[in-house]
Structure 1
Amino acid sequence: MGSYTETVRKPRFLCLHGFRTSGEIIKKQLNKWPDSVLRKIDLVFADAPFPSQGKSEVEGIFDPPYYEWFQFNKEFTEYTNFDECLAYIEDLMIKQGPFDGLLGFSQGAILSAALPGLQAQGVALTKVAKIKFLIIIGGAKFRSPSMSDKAYASPIQCPSLHFLGETDYLKQYGMELLECCVDPVVIHHPKGHTIPRLDEKAAQTVETVLERIQKMLSEDEEES
């Protein structure tokens, strides 16, 4: 296995953290994953564009500062600063890319899952390469019709890996998101709305997905 990391370009993912957390926090959360998984993927961590506008759920667990990608109403049907958020992500992808995929948790997962569709519609990320892969942890669909019509106008074509928590309050919405995906792989875990530790079976599934992504990237590069 030693030669794997030396001879093969690892897939590169931009990580979008949860609401009122930070790039540093999602980095710590993902560091619970085993080395066998982490050494197969190149993760880039960024902070969302807006400082937290209220109390963070992770206060007392993780240190500030905390950030949010955009703001929303109680029903999660109206969004504020969303266009600024899209422009900010595109800028990140230009400056720190290229990226092969997106990994998102919570608000970052909802955003990540919508971006391939928005990109395909030409309303976001028009200056960067196509998003090829998704890793969605505790995700869901956007609930406003105007957003849904654009983000999920056609099925999400890129291969996607989804983590669904048994007691996650977003689980039902995460299941709805699966219906939009052409090629989803699902890992169920017993926890709630969190980035779970990986047991042996889950780690094996993630490694298999990453190896498959790697193979697809190698084939793409050979063709080009």
Structure 2
Amino acid sequence: MNYLRNSNSNPNPNPIRTPTLTPTPPTKPKLRILCLHGALGSASVLRSQAAPLANLSSVADLVFVDAPALSRGGRGWFDLSTYAGLDETYAYLSNILHTHGPFDGVLGLSQGAVLASILVGWFDFAIMFGGFVAQHPEVRKVYAGKEYARPSLHVYGMADRIVSPESSKRLAGMFTDPTVVVHGGGHVIPSDKASVRRVEEFVARRHAARFG
């Protein structure tokens, strides 16, 4: 019996074709932005309030954290009149940066915006909604620092009855080159298309500056 194949025969009449594979595109890097809620808020509340910024997810991860006082039934990041609790907040957020960082930017609403303005030196940029200047004399000293040359976005409403537009404008004036967005609403993260687009454009510029 001859077990030799004819050299002219096809040993595999139905060869398996190797599929053409499309390379998986590289994952687009994102900014990481630490988000700080207001005096009566929480991480989950701010996440809901920030719903108009959903499209930022293509270029940034927003990381929401609770103030340390919430774990024991308190409120806010510090006492609004005495600023008691601010040292605890510093230590708490420093640990957040160490264990969950790095973060490129910081975003804050109301008291969270004040805190963002105080801690701007820890980040490359800051976004503040309905912010105001810290009033405690010792805290106000930080506004003289070179950190205030960092890019900043200040968003406030002309109908804000909690923080006056003048107070938010004064905070913007503490920065050397602020981007200011004024909307017709109140003490909120605005949802109108024009304001949201300005926020998206600011973050897109920060993304381009960071990643090219």
* TM-score, scaled to structure 2: 0.80
Q: Distance in 2 between matches of 1:137 and 1:185?
A: 12
Which residue matches 2:78?
70
8 Å contact from structure 1 (residues 15, 103) kept in 2: yes
Q: Distance in 2 between matches of 1:200 and 1:194?
A: 14
Q: Over aligned residues, Cα RMSD in angstroms? A: 2.2
Q: Distance in 2 between matches of 1:52 and 1:172?
A: 34
* TM-aligned CA deviation for residue 71 of structure 1: 1.2
Does residue 196 of structure 1 match 2:190? yes
* TM-aligned CA deviation for residue 22 of structure 1: 0.5
Equivalent position amino acid for 1:96 in 2: H
Does residue 157 of structure 1 match 2:166? no
* TM-aligned CA deviation for residue 204 of structure 1: 2.3
Look up the SS of the partner of 1:186 in the other structure: strand
Equivalent position amino acid for 1:179 in 2: G
Look up the SS of the partner of 1:71 in the other structure: coil
8 Å contact from structure 1 (residues 155, 182) kept in 2: no
8 Å contact from structure 2 (residues 29, 59) kept in 1: no
Deviates more, 1:85-94 or 1:180-189: 180-189
Which residue matches 1:32?
52
Look up the SS of the partner of 2:35 in the other structure: strand
Which residue matches 2:134?
142
Q: Aligned pair in 2 of structure 1 residues 83, 142: CA closer, same or farther (>3 Å)?
A: same
Deviates more, 1:146-155 or 1:87-96: 146-155
Number of aligned positions between the proteins: 186
Which residue matches 1:174?
168
8 Å contact from structure 1 (residues 18, 106) kept in 2: yes
Which residue matches 1:109?
113
Residues 71-93 of structure 1: CA distance to partner in whole angstroms, max 9, x if unpaired?
132xxxx2111111111111111
Which residue matches 1:49?
68
Which residue matches 1:23?
43
Look up the SS of the partner of 1:68 in the other structure: coil
* TM-aligned CA deviation for residue 66 of structure 1: 7.1
Structure 1 stretches of at least 4 aligned residues deviating more than 6 Å after TM superposition? none
Task: List runs of 5+ in structure 1 lacking aligned partners.
Answer: 54-64, 120-129, 220-224
Which residue matches 1:212?
205
Q: Aligned pair in 2 of structure 1 residues 210, 46: CA closer, same or farther (>3 Å)?
A: same
Q: Distance in 2 between matches of 1:142 and 1:114?
A: 8
* TM-aligned CA deviation for residue 212 of structure 1: 0.9
Query: Which structure has the greater CA radius of gyration?
Result: 2
Deviates more, 1:155-164 or 1:8-17: 155-164
* TM-score, scaled to structure 1: 0.76
